[in-house]
């Protein structure tokens, strides 16, 4: 499985993401710069977290309109897996690859802590390594992670099983509607999530609960 | 040249925690008459054309493509 990590001005979680992908797949991902329109042949494209373009206008709004996103959109339509974490999730919703929007945290505060996630759909390319209903630990660090979708969209994504991760009872850090922490598109090949699984993949991190997501996406689940 | 102002506001039913915080702060300052507060954004744009219809069409496209996130926001365009 070949992977790629997108690098844009202001993204700062790219190194963590590169380390996680390298450690879990055994192969370093290629990196894609903002001006690239010709994306190499890979199985997984990751948009990491950070503050692309200084979060100007709306988080992810400027990045979503860069040429590289048109290229990523085309890859996603062709079935390539795309993972957006934190700012990457915000970019994916702004680009229209995922439904809904991410708004300012209900508390108005930046939250940086560990929460718990419930795997509510373990039948996706990004969550197969987990058990249905499993509760995993995961760090969050964001100011605008308050997921919102109108009633009709919400009904659709809930009905289709597009909600993959929910904040476990009592740990919703941002006011997200229905405790939504991560969703996939209808086809199931694009996942966006606010928490940072790449920061909990080995003993040095104090746990490895995030590893299952990469093992699923990179198709390296231990038998 | 045409001067235009675009106002972007949150749609009804979309929670606005910043507006709520401002509402609370105004109340705390003693403005007892304060009702609901909703926060929005204002953009002042100069359009290099004399063609008002074209400017209007361009501004609408700018709002749809970038200035507003139509999932959560409405926009209004006024041309001076």
CA A43 to chain centre: 16
Number of CB pairs < 8 Å for A and B?
A: 38
Residue-wise pLDDT for B7-23, tens only, equals: 999 999 898 988 999 99
* Phi/psi at A133 (5° precision): 85, 0
B28: which 2 tokens? 């705390």
List B residues 9-68 in contact with A (Cβ-Cβ < 8 A): 13-15, 17-18, 21, 65-67
Decide if B18 and A148 are in contact by the 8 Å CB cutoff.
no
**Quick one: pLDDT band at residue B80, thresholds 50, 70, 90?**
confident
Q: What confidence score (pLDDT) does residue A209 get?
A: 97
User: Among all chains, which residue has been given the structure tokens 């702060």?
Assistant: B25
Q: Which residues of chain A have pLDDT under 50?
A: none
**What's the count of helices (H) and strands (E) in chain B, helices before strands?**
2, 3
What share of chain B has pLDDT > 70, as a percent?
100
Q: What confidence score (pLDDT) does residue A179 get?
A: 98
Q: What confidence score (pLDDT) does residue A55 get?
A: 95
Residue-wise pLDDT for A85-104, tens only, equals: 999 999 999 999 999 999 99
Please give the CATH number for the structural domain made up of A3-217: 3.40.50.880
Q: Which CATH architecture has domain B2-79?
A: 2-Layer Sandwich (3.30)
Query: Would you say the pTM of this structure is higher than 0.80?
Result: yes
**DSSP 8-state code for residue A125:** T
Boundaries of every domain in chain A: 3-217
**DSSP 8-state code for residue A46:** E
Strands A190-193 and A81-85: parallel
Contacting B with CB below 8 Å, chain A residues are: 57-58, 61, 65, 93-94, 99-101, 103-108, 146, 148-150, 175
Q: What confidence score (pLDDT) does residue A71 get?
A: 96
**Ramachandran sector of residue A179 (left: φ over 0; alpha: ψ -120 to 50; beta: rest):** left
Decide if A101 and B72 are in contact by the 8 Å CB cutoff.
yes
Boundaries of every domain in chain B: 2-79
Q: What confidence score (pLDDT) does residue B79 get?
A: 94
Q: What confidence score (pLDDT) does residue B17 get?
A: 87
Angle at A40 between CA A60 and CA A69, to 5 degrees: 20
**What's the count of helices (H) and strands (E) in chain A, helices before strands?**
6, 11
CA distance A160 to A85: 21
Query: Based on C-alpha coordinates, what's the Rg of chain B?
Result: 16
- What stretch of H or E contains A72? helix A67-77
* Phi/psi at B14 (5° precision): -90, 125
CA A29 to chain centre: 16
């Amino acid at each position: 499985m070949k992977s790629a990590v997108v690098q844009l001005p202001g993204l700062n979680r790219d190194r963590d993401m590169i380390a996680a992908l390298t450690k879990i797949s055994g192969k370093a991902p290629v990196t894609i710069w903002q001006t690239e329109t010709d994306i190499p042949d890979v199985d997984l494209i990751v948009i990491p977290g950070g503050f692309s373009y200084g979060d100007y206008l709306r988080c992810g709004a400027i990045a979503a309109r860069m040429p590289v996103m048109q290229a990523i959109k085309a890859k996603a339509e062709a079935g390539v897996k795309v993972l957006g974490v934190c700012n990457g999730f915000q970019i994916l919703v702004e680009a229209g690859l995922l439904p809904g929007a991410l708004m300012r945290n209900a508390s108005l505060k930046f939250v940086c802590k560990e929460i718990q996630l419930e795997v509510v759909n373990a039948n996706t390319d990004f969550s197969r390594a987990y058990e249905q209903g499993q509760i995993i630990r995961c760090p969050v660090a964001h100011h605008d992670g308050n997921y919102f979708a109108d009633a009709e969209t919400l009904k659709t994504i809930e009905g289709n099983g597009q909600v993959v991760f929910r904040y476990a009872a009592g740990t919703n850090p941002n006011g997200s509607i229905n405790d939504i922490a991560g969703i996939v598109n209808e086809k199931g090949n694009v996942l966006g999530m606010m928490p940072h699984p790449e920061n909990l993949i080995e003993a040095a991190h104090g746990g490895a609960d995030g590893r299952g997501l990469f093992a699923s996406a990179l198709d390296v689940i231990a038998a | 040249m045409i001067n235009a102002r675009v106002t972007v506001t949150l749609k009804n039913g979309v929670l606005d925690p910043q507006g709520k915080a401002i509402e609370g702060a105004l109340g705390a300052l003693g403005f007892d008459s304060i009702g609901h507060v909703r926060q929005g954004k204002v953009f002042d744009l100069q359009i290099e054309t004399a063609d008002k219809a074209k400017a209007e069409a361009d501004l609408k496209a700018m709002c749809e493509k970038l200035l507003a996130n139509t999932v959560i926001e409405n926009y209004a365009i006024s041309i001076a």
